Chains A and B, each alone.
Chain A
Amino acid sequence: MSTNTERWGTRVGLVLAMAGNAVGLGNFLRFPVQAINNGGGAFIIPYLVSFLVMGIPLLWIEWAMGRFGGMRGHHSAPFMLDTMARQRLWKYFGVFGIWTNLAVAAYYCYIESWTMSYVMHSIGRTFDGMSQTEVANFFLNYVDITTTTTGIPFEAPVFYILCLLLNTWILSRGLSGGVEKTAKIGMPLLILFGVFLAIRGLTLGTSGASASHPDASAWAGLNFLWSPQFDSLANPKVWLAAAGQIFFTLSVGMGTIHCYAAYVKAKDDVALNAMSAGWMNEFVEVVLGSSIVIPIAAGYLGLDWVKENAGFGMAFQTMPFLFENWGPVLAAIAGVFWFGLLFFAGITSSLAMGTPWMGFLQDEFNWGREKSAWSFGALVLVMGLPTVFFYNYGVFSEYDYWAGTVSLVVFALAESIVFSWIFGIDKGWREITSGADMTVPIPYKFIIKYITPLFLLFVFIGSVFSPMGGDWAGAWNSLLAGNGWILDNGSLIKMVLNTGLREQIAATTDPAQLEHLQTSLTLVSASRALLTAVFVGVCLMVYTAARRRPRGKESGT
C-alpha cells in the first residue's frame, strides 16, 4: 500500500508547477539558437505545427495517463503503463519515465548551479571591467575545477552540491509545501525578470554599436530571427529540429507530467490545465526567449558574430560582458535578473525530475517522503559528479544525448502507442475529456491516434539515420545513385559507435590533444556504462515491485 498522501494546494499552483516543469534553460538558450540555425522566421511554422500535432496531444496523453495512474495509486510511469497495457513488457518502457529524470537531473543541476554562482558574481560585480575574452575565460576556468577564479576552492563542485541540497530539501518539504511554493514564487519572478530583459532587447536598436562593432544592431538580430525563409520548410532537418525543440521545451517524454498529474482527482480537469501550462511555456519561449539573447548579442556584437557563435555558451560567456554596457548598477541588476531567471527556470524543472523517483519509492517500497527525497539527492550526486569533474571530456554531453534527447523520443513513442492503440483511443479520449473545463476539439482524437505516433516515429527514425550535415535531399540522391546513405556523426548509429570521437583521434597529431581525446573516449564509455547500470537497476526495482504485488494487481486491473 502506498504511503503517498501528497496533494496539490491549489489549481493555480498545479498549473504554475507544471509550467515551471516545462519552462527550462532551453526556453532562453536553445530555442533562439535553433531558430537562427534553421531558417529564422520560417522555423516558427514547423515549430508551431509540431506544437499543435505533437506537443499538445502528448500533453493531453501524459496528463490523462497521470490522472488515470494516480487514481489507481501509481505516481510514476512504469506502473501507469502497466495498468493501461496488459503485456508485462510495457512497464519496462515506463522505466524511462524514472531513469531519464535521474540522468537529466544529474547534469541539469550542474547548469543550475552555474546560475546560482553567477547570481552571486553579478551581485559581487565580478565581471566589472572584464573584456569579452576575460568573461569567456572566466567560464572556462569555472568549469575547469582545477583552477579557481574567486578564491573558493572547487567552486563548481561546491555550488553543485549546494544546488542539489537545495533541490533535495525542497522536495523533502512535499508537493504543496515545497514544489508548489517554489513554483508560485519562481514563475512570477521568472516572467518579471524576462519581461524586463525582453524590453531591453526589443528597444536596444542600434544604440549598442561601437568602433569595434559598427554594424551592431538589435534590429538586425530580430530581423534574422523573424524573417520568413519559406524555402527551408521543405527541408526535413528543419522539421526535425522544430519537433526536437518541442520535446525539450514541454518536458514531454520524461515522466514528470505523469507524476504531477497523478495527484489530480478523478473528477478534475486535465485538458484545460494541460493547455494552460503548455501555452504559458510557449509564451516564455517564443515571446521572452526570442527577445533576450539574440537581440542583445546582435545589438552589441553584430549579427555576423551571433551567426558564428550562437550557442549555449552565450548565456555565461557573453551576456555578463554585454550587461556591462548598461553601467554598473544596471549591469548588476541585469546579471541578477538574467541568471536569476535561468535559476528559477532550472529549479522548477529539476524539482519535477525528483518527483517520479519519489513517487515510485513511496508507492512500491513504502518509503517516506523525506527518505525518498534524500535518496534522490544521493543518487543524483553519484551520477552527477562525473559530469562536474569530467565536463571537459564530453561526459556532460553524453548524458545530455542519451537521457535528454534519445530517451525522450523513445518513451514518448511508447506511451503514445500504449495510449492510442493498446489502451485504446476511445477509452483514452474519455480520459482526456472526463471532467474537462474546455471543449477538446474532436479532430484531436484522430491526431492523437494517427498523426502523433507517426510524427514521433519520423523524429525517431530521423535521429537514427540522420544524414551527413542534415542534407536529406543529398542523402536520398546518393542512395538512389547507388552510393549509399552517408550518416552524420550526430546520428544515433554513429553516436553509439563514437565515430566522431574516433575520427578526431585518428586525425590528431598533437600528443597532448591525443591523450585528451583518448581519455574522453574512455570516460564517455564509462559514463555510458554508469547510465546503463542505473537503467538496469531501476528495471530490477520495477521487477521486484511487480513481484511483491498481490496476484491480479500486476497489470491491467
Chain B
Amino acid sequence: MTTGAILMMIVTMAIVTAFAVYFFIKVLRTPPKSDSYIQSNQQRKE
C-alpha cells in the first residue's frame, strides 16, 4: 500500500470509529428524561 492510501484509510477509519464510539457512550451515559421507555418507567416505579 502507498503511504497516501494507508494514511487515508487510517485517518478515515479513526475519525468514523471515534465519532461512533463517542456518540454511543454519550447515549449510554445520558439518562432518558421521561417515561418514554418501558424500562425507565419500571425503574421509576420501583
Jot down 12 A-B pairs with beta carbons below 8 A, ordered by A: A8-B37, A9-B38, A9-B39, A10-B38, A11-B37, A15-B27, A222-B5, A226-B8, A227-B5, A268-B36, A282-B19, A437-B26
A275 close to B23 (CB less than 8 A): yes
Distance in Å from the Cβ of B41 to the closest Cβ of chain A?
Answer: 8
A265→B9 contact, CB < 8 A: no
A438 at the interface (CB under 8 A from B): yes
A287 engages B17 (CB within 8 Å) = yes
Contact A279 B32 (CB under 8 A): no
The answer to whether A9 and B37 have CB atoms under 8 Å apart is yes
Q: Which residue of B lies closest to A286 (CB)?
A: B16
Query: Would B33 and A279 count as touching, CB distance under 8 A?
Result: no
Give chain B residues whose Cβ lies under 8 Å from the Cβ of A68. Answer: none
CB-CB under 8 A from B13, the residues of chain A are 286-287
Q: Is A228 an interface residue (CB 8 A)?
A: yes
Q: What distance in Å separates the Cβ of B19 from its nearest Cβ neighbour in chain A?
A: 5
Determine the chain B residues whose CB is within 8 A of the CB of A290 once the complex forms: 9
Interface residues of A in 464-519 (CB under 8 A from B): none
User: Chain B residues with Cβ under 8 A from A272's Cβ?
Assistant: 23, 26-27, 30
**Minimal beta-carbon separation of B12 from chain A (angstroms):** 6
In the complex, whether A273 has a CB less than 8 A from a CB of chain B is yes
CB <8 Å contact, A219 and B1: yes
Q: Which residues of B contact A15 (CB under 8 A)?
A: 24, 27
Which secondary structure dominates where chain B touches chain A?
Answer: helix
What chain A residues lie within 8 Å of B17 (beta carbons)? Answer: 283, 287
Q: How far is the CB of A216 from chain B (nearest CB, A)?
A: 15
Task: Identify which of B2, B8, B33 gathers the most chain A CB atoms within 10 Å of its CB.
Answer: B8
- On whether the beta carbons of A268 and B34 are closer than 8 Å, the reply is yes
State in angstroms the CA–CA spacing of A338 and B31 once bound together: 35
Contact (Cβ within 8 A) A176 B30: no
Query: Is B8 in contact with A12, judged by CB distance below 8 angstroms?
Result: no
Q: Of B1, B16, B37, B39, which is within 8 A of A279 by CB?
A: B16
Tell me the complex Cα distance, A227–B27, Å: 34
Question: 7 closest pairs, A vs B, by CB?
Answer: A265-B36, A283-B20, A276-B23, A226-B5, A226-B9, A279-B20, A223-B1
Count of interface residues, chain B, beta-carbon cutoff 8 Å: 28
Where the two chains meet, the residues of B that have a C-beta atom closer than 8 Å to any C-beta of A are 1-2, 4-6, 8-9, 12-13, 16-17, 19-20, 23-24, 26-28, 30, 32-40
What's the Cα separation between A223 and B3 when bound, in Å? 9
Q: Which residues of A contact B30 (CB under 8 A)?
A: 269, 272, 437
In this complex, the member of A9, A48, A275, A279 whose beta carbon has the largest number of chain B beta carbons within 10 angstroms is: A279
Contacts of A280 in B (CB 8 A): 20, 23-24
Tell me the A400-452 residues at the B interface (CB within 8 Å). 435, 437-438
Chain B's nearest CB lies how many Å from the CB of A351?
18
Residues of B within 8 A of A163 (CB): none
A48 and B19 CA atoms in complex are apart in Å by: 13
Chain A 263-302 interface residues, beta-carbon cutoff 8 Å to B: 263-269, 272-273, 275-276, 279-280, 282-283, 286-287, 290
Please give the distance in Å from A499's CB to the nearest CB on chain B: 38
| Chain A residue with the shortest CB-CB distance to B26 | A272
Asked if A307 is at the interface of the complex by the 8 Å CB criterion, the answer is: no
Q: Which residues of B contact A10 (CB under 8 A)?
A: 37-40
What 1/0 mask marks residues of chain A from 208 to 228 whose CB sits below 8 Å from any chain B CB?
A: 000000000001001101111
B7 to chain A, nearest CB (A): 9
Q: Does A25 contact B (CB under 8 A)?
A: no
